[in-house]
Amino acid sequence: MSRTAATKTTQKAQQARESSHQFDIHIVSEATGSLAQHIASVLLSQFPKLRCETYHHPFCSNAEAAGAVRKAIGRSESPILLSALTKPTLKRSFAKWSEKHGVPHLDLVGSAVDFMSLHTGQRPIRDASRSHRCNEDYYNRIDAWEFTLQHDDSRRLETVHEADIVLLGVSRAGKTPLAAYLGSLGYRVANIAIAPEAKVPKQLKACRDRTIGLTLRPEKLAEIRRRRFELNAFKAAIARSGHEDTGYYSRRTAVRDAMFAEAQFRKLRIRTLDMTDQTVEESAAHVLNMLDLS
């Protein structure tokens, strides 16, 4: 970058900070942009006071698409460009454009690709489509996802023994979203609901070594249940009927259910995972580590 362009970039960033303008973070990728979005999310999480709006520009794979993206970026008052591009022509065009217009630009993949090339002696093929291919691994992942969806909330217990992972827990312990995420990674997951009013299914004995019991602090469990209750408009429907019943999401019920679940986990001698204040991604990483699948 030339000295003039660097000065222009610095001055523009300083003006944005001084005037408290919101930054527009533009994430550009040739393919789906999932990796670029994840990297950007991790990066931005380190700046909790930063006022910004993110814009995703996937499938920017040719000159026409690149031109449209640059026009969109140009309409921002305080843009920052994060790119995950592999084609040399696209990389050069965005690098030159950002320098010319004083837009801060970070290449998210360039240095990593150059590093691997330097230390392995291999030349990169510069093909973004290689990261998303409909090969055997892809179809196996789809099959795993279908298995997971079919075995949600205690369904198809007769084939639960075929699961790679079994998640056990009370209502709203986070079983379904965690199972769906693990399923998207290619693991066959079954999730089973338990409650004081229902016995643990006998089919679980065949796969206890692959079972994780999910727990939550009672206050968090009650909060999640209340939010779901209101989101589904159950509260308004019950209020109209004149039979208000908050037992399901009361703290007392949450304490009872949490204690019941922990007692069952001890009885079954299965490993447990506390889901309180954990994201789905964090929980999935813990599950895979606990089952030696990572």
Tens-of-pLDDT digits for all 294 residues of the chain?
555 555 656 665 555 454 456 899 999 999 888 888 888 888 888 888 889 999 999 999 999 999 999 999 999 989 999 999 988 899 999 999 999 999 999 998 877 767 777 777 787 766 655 555 666 777 788 899 899 999 999 999 999 999 999 999 999 999 999 999 999 889 999 999 999 988 889 999 999 999 999 999 999 999 998 888 777 666 665 555 444 555 777 889 999 999 999 999 999 999 999 999 999 999 999 999 999 997
Residues 223, 99 within the same domain: no
Residues 142, 285 within the same domain: yes
Range of the domain at 15: 3-129
Q: How far apart are CA 290 and CA 243, in angstroms?
A: 44
How many domains does the structure of the chain reveal? 2
Residues 119, 143 within the same domain: no
Residues 104, 119 within the same domain: yes
96-107 burial: b if 16+ Cβ within 10 Å, else e: ebbbebbbebeb
Residues 76, 140 within the same domain: no
The last residue of a domain, from among 109, 129, 149: 129
Residues 147, 197 within the same domain: yes
Residues 37, 87 within the same domain: yes
Residues 183, 264 within the same domain: yes
Residues 140, 281 within the same domain: yes
The last residue of a domain, from among 106, 129, 152: 129
Which CATH number goes with the domain that contains 112? 3.40.50
Residues 116, 142 within the same domain: no
**pTM of this prediction?**
0.66
Nearest to 35 by CA among 84, 90, 97: 84
Residues 113, 226 within the same domain: no
In the chain, where do the E strands start and end? Answer: 23-29, 52-57, 79-84, 105-107, 165-169, 189-193, 211-215, 271-274
Residues 25, 51 within the same domain: yes
The last residue of a domain, from among 129, 157, 174: 129
Locate 41 and state its tokens: 């999310």
